[in-house]
Structure formats: structure tokens, C-alpha cells
């Protein structure tokens, strides 16, 4: 069994199903009687299961030090921002570096809603998970 199977087993579903979608209020007009709801991302069940498994993996493998994802990325010449993370050459990264990319993407969602969805939609997350499968 591959060390990363709990994460990479989600790959087929994440590559064929949408990870989520933006929900935008098109029914209300912004009046006091019909106030607009703020847009938000609704993530799929598949995505929720992946995130649960990822957090469990991080907790079970403290030796990976994924709580230090920013430092781990920086030590590999990757900045903790969408552009730098997207352009990272994952073929040159070790498992800890790839896991730091995933944690960085997951944590970025807390600061900018929709960031994680973008990493899935752009194919970055699939690329990172495929690299983990190679390394396992």
C-alpha cells in the first residue's frame, strides 16, 4: 500500500467531477425586503471527503511538519501565493514539498474564498496528487 493512497484515491473523482461551484444570489434584488446573499463556494461531497482525508493525513504524519507549509514552500523556492504555487515544478519536489503545496492551497481558502476551487479547476491539485502517487 502506497503511503499516499488515502489522498490519491480521490484523484479519479476529482478529475471527473467538479470540486464545487460559486453560488451567486440571482433571486433577490438587494432591497430591504429582498436582501442579496453574499456569493460563496459550495464544495462537492467528493471535495469534502478529500479534505477530511487530507487533514487526517496531516495529523497522522506530524513528521511531515505540514503546519509549517509556508516555510516548507519557501525553502523550495516557492512563494505562498497562487501564481508561484501554480508554476512550481512538481517533478522536482519531494513528498513533503508536494504536501506543502496542497496544505498551502487548503489554507489559502481561509483567506480568499474560492482559491482552493481554482487550484482544482486549473488542474494543479490533480498534478500534485499524481506526483504524490509517483513518490509513494
Say which residues have a Cβ less than 8 Å from residue 82's Cβ, sequence separation at least 6.
108, 115, 118, 119
What is residue 1's predicted lDDT score, i.e. its pLDDT? 64
Please state the domain count of the chain: 1
**Is 130 buried (19+), middle (13-18) or exposed (0-12) by CB count in 10 A?**
middle
Which domain does 16 fall in, by range?
5-135
What is residue 63's predicted lDDT score, i.e. its pLDDT? 96
**Number of Cβ within a 10 Å radius of residue 75:** 12
pTM of the model: 0.91
As averages over each run of 10 residues, the pLDDT of the chain (136 residues) reads: 90 90 90 90 94 97 97 98 96 97 96 94 95 94
Amino acid at each position: 500500500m502506497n503511503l499516499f493512497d488515502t489522498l490519491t484515491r480521490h484523484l479519479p473523482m476529482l478529475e471527473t467531477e467538479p470540486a464545487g461551484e460559486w453560488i451567486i444570489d440571482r433571486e433577490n434584488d438587494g432591497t430591504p425586503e429582498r436582501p442579496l446573499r453574499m456569493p460563496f463556494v459550495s464544495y462537492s461531497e467528493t471535495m469534502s471527503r478529500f479534505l477530511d482525508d487530507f487533514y487526517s493525513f496531516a495529523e497522522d504524519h506530524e513528521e511531515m511538519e505540514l503546519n509549517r507549509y509556508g516555510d516548507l514552500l519557501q525553502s523550495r523556492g516557492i512563494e505562498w501565493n497562487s501564481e508561484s504555487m501554480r508554476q512550481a515544478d512538481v517533478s522536482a519536489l519531494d513528498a513533503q514539498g508536494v504536501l506543502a503545496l496542497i496544505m498551502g492551497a487548503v489554507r489559502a481558502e481561509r483567506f480568499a474564498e474560492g482559491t482552493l476551487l481554482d487550484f482544482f479547476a486549473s488542474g494543479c491539485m490533480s498534478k500534485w496528487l499524481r506526483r504524490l502517487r509517483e513518490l509513494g
